[in-house]
Amino acid sequence: MSRFFKTVFLTGLFVGTTDLVSAYISLTIKSGNFPRKMLYYIAGAAIGIKTALQGGNGIAFLGLFSHYFIAFAFTLFFFWIFPRIKILSFNKYLIGMLYAVFVDLVMGQVVLPLSYLPSGPFILSDSILDWIILGVLFGIPITYNAYKYYGVDTKK
């Protein structure tokens, strides 16, 4: 495996895992119950929520695969655009936070409306905390590893 794809793979695996764990923790705190059907719900984007919630282990695996596929896709996209857009080397922490906002907006305004999942209204006050968490657990690790991979001064 090339160094590029190994870096993207490991970064995608890390951010996909931290994002999934944080979603489980967040939903458990908000609802008071462990979200046992979250992977089924994620699979519902592809096959419909009613079908997904009746599924078994295969449906849960589809949800897990879908989640990691999206995490890898956003990781690969950032690694691909990073050397092409010079402003991205400005500050890894700021860019990571902004990339998380970009990812959340693309998911909420483009991907989810194209899926079988119901979409709710965009509420800025609800999104700000999500953006901070996504920035720390998703955006910053991606930018940090891209800076390291491309040899950008990591003191910024």
Q: Are 44 and 116 in contact (CB under 8 A)?
A: yes
Q: What is the pLDDT of residues 30-61, one digit of tens each?
A: 899 999 999 999 999 999 999 999 989 999 99
Q: What is the pLDDT of residues 86-116, one digit of tens each?
A: 999 999 999 999 999 999 999 998 999 999 9
Instruction: Domain ranges for the chain, please list them.
Output: 3-150
Q: What is the pLDDT of residues 124-137, one digit of tens each?
A: 887 898 899 999 99
| Tokens matching residue 64 | 């897990």
**pLDDT score, position 93:** 96
pLDDT band, very low/low/confident/very high, at 122 (cuts 50, 70, 90): confident
> What is the model's pTM?
0.92
What angle do helix axes 92-106 and 140-150 make, rounded to 10 degrees? 130
Q: Are 92 and 154 in contact (CB under 8 A)?
A: yes
**How big is the chain, counted in residues?**
156
**pLDDT score, position 1:** 75
Q: Is 34 left (phi over 0), alpha (psi -120 to 50) or beta?
A: beta
Nearest to 49, CA basis, from 119, 154, 122: 119
pLDDT of residue 119 exceeding 80, the answer is no
Q: Are 16 and 68 in contact (CB under 8 A)?
A: yes
Tell me what the pLDDT averaged over the chain comes to.
93
